[in-house]
Copies of this chain bind each other. A is one copy, B any other.
Amino acid sequence: MTTPVSERQSPETPVDELIPSVDEAPGSRPVAWPHRHLLDVDALTIDEIETVMRTADAMRQVLARPIPKVPALRGRSVTILFYEASTRTRVSFEVGAKNLSADVVNIAAATSSVAKGESLVDTVRTIEALGADILVIRHPVSGAPYLAASVFGGSVVNGGDGWHAHPTQALLDLYTMRQRLPRGSVAGRKVVILGDVLHSRVARSNVWALTAAGADVWLCGPPTLLRGFDAWARAGAGGRRFTVTSSVVDALRDADVVMALRIQKERMTGGLLPSLREYATRYGLTRERLSLARPDAIVMHPGPMNEGVEIAPAVATGAQSVIADQVANGVAIRMALLYLLAGART
């Protein structure tokens, strides 16, 4: 916590220098991460994103060991507070924290005092008083993690808030692309995000991280599910550029990465889509459509999938799919972030 800035590790430190410190308990670590919380990817510089990626490399080496456990967070307490159902995000934080030897407390809002009407702020204060060092929160209201961070004395990690942000998903997606793309870089690569962009915290966070990393980002979907992004694209979104289109042919042609987004059935009731069948017919990621992309293009999906709607089963499990890698890398990325936050010098 008090590591002087002068000792801050430069982004170029190789992974094998990180490994020894991962195997030691807190206090002996050279890493100094400048952020107390992880609320959105837009707070990270390119160098900091690089540090996350290299730390995740070190964590993947830990995960490859027969006993994938290191003492780095021994004695630290991680509370996972989820107001929405989840398997992969919750479990990957739980597994990641336990691999780092942290103690983990799970709180599902449905069976907690939240059900008695306790305010988020009171719940967060209570969790802090119970001894939590790191709070991972998922909440249906955009901005809830920011409110939590304003009262929590430790570190807050955004595990997904409303339509707003899902920063750990964006980082694991970027990590997975770099792992699979030639020369390990997304710079200049055509990355297509296909589907319900409007309601997707995954899309929002990915646009930011990918444009920062120099990718040629395309957002594609029915016009009703792209609303607002056109204006954002034209405005230049903080100096970054991306393309918005409803033409699935334009989008997929020569793509290097195609990421299909989940179509939530509840969107139908809002009149934004005529039917799932029509969506599947016009925008579903089928083998035929995928053939428009580069032959070595990779297929991604943040899960959970509606197979046969936004993605065909044969594509989801085909040779180009890296969907299982996304899940596995999610554990490494979350370990990396918990590790960095535990060493934050703020």
Which residues of chain A have a CB within 8 Å of any CB of chain B?
Answer: 25-27, 63, 65-69, 74-75, 77, 79, 82, 85-88, 90-92, 94-95, 98, 103, 105, 107-108, 110-119, 122-123, 125-131, 264-265, 303-307, 316, 323-328, 330-331
Please state if B113 and A111 are interface contacts (CB–CB under 8 Å).
no
Instruction: Given A113-B304, A119-B307, answer yes or no on A126-B87 (Cβ-Cβ < 8 Å).
Output: yes
CA distance A136 to B65 in the complex (A): 23
Which B residues lie within 8 Å of A326 (CB)?
A: 129
Report the separation of the CA atoms of residues A126 and B218 in the bound assembly, to the nearest whole angstrom: 27
Whether B113 lies near A85 (C-beta < 8 A) is yes
A94 to B94, CA, bound (A): 16
Min C-beta distance of A255 to chain B, whole Å: 23
A331 to B82 Cα, complex, angstroms: 22
How close is A327's CB to chain B, nearest CB, in angstroms?
Answer: 3
Q: Most chain-B CB neighbours within 10 Å: which of A27, A95, A127, A307?
A: A95
Q: How far is the CA of A305 from the CA of B114 in the complex (A)?
A: 11
Contact in complex: A112, B87 (CB < 8 Å): yes
Chain B residues within an 8 Å CB radius of A103: 95, 98
Residues of B within 8 A of A65 (CB): 75
Query: Could you pull out 28 A-B pairs where Cβ atoms are within 8 angstroms?
Result: A66-B75, A67-B75, A68-B75, A77-B95, A79-B91, A82-B111, A85-B114, A85-B115, A87-B107, A87-B112, A87-B113, A87-B123, A87-B127, A90-B112, A95-B131, A113-B304, A116-B264, A117-B306, A119-B305, A119-B307, A122-B304, A125-B324, A125-B327, A126-B304, A126-B327, A129-B327, A130-B330, A131-B328
Partner of A105, one of B79, B95, B117: B95
Taking a contact as CB atoms under 8 Å apart, the answer to whether A130 and B69 are in contact is: no
Given contacts A103-B95, A107-B87, A107-B91, A122 and B303 within 8 Å (CB-CB):
yes
A110 to B84 CA separation, bound complex (whole angstroms): 11
Which of A103, A105, A113, A123 neighbours the largest number of chain B CB atoms within 10 Å of its CB? A113
Contacts of A88 in B (CB 8 A): 113, 126, 130
- A89 → B minimal CB distance (Å): 9
Is the CB–CB distance between A91 and B304 below 8 Å? no
Across the two chains, which residue of chain B brings its CB closest to A308? B119
Within the complex, the shortest CB–CB distance from A267 to chain B, in Å, comes to 13
Q: Judge whether B130 and A95 touch: CB under 8 Å.
A: yes
In the assembled complex, which residues on chain B have CB atoms less than 8 Å from the CB atom of A324?
A: 125-126, 128-129
A328–chain B nearest beta-carbon distance, Å: 5
Minimal beta-carbon separation of A125 from chain B (angstroms):
6
Question: Which residues on B sit within 8 Å (CB–CB) of A27?
Answer: 66
Q: Are B327 and A130 in contact (CB under 8 A)?
A: yes
Structural contact, B129 and A63, CB atoms closer than 8 A: no
Q: Which of B87, B118, B131 is in CB contact (< 8 Å) with A87?
A: B118
Determine the chain B residues whose CB is within 8 A of the CB of A131 once the complex forms. Answer: 63, 68, 95, 328, 331
Q: Which residue of B lies closest to A90 (CB)?
A: B112
Residue ID in chain B nearest A63 by CB atoms: B131
The interface residues of chain B lying within 8 Å CB-to-CB of A91 are 79, 105, 107, 127, 130
User: A278 to nearest B CB, angstroms?
Assistant: 19
Shortest Cβ distance from A129 into chain B, in angstroms?
3
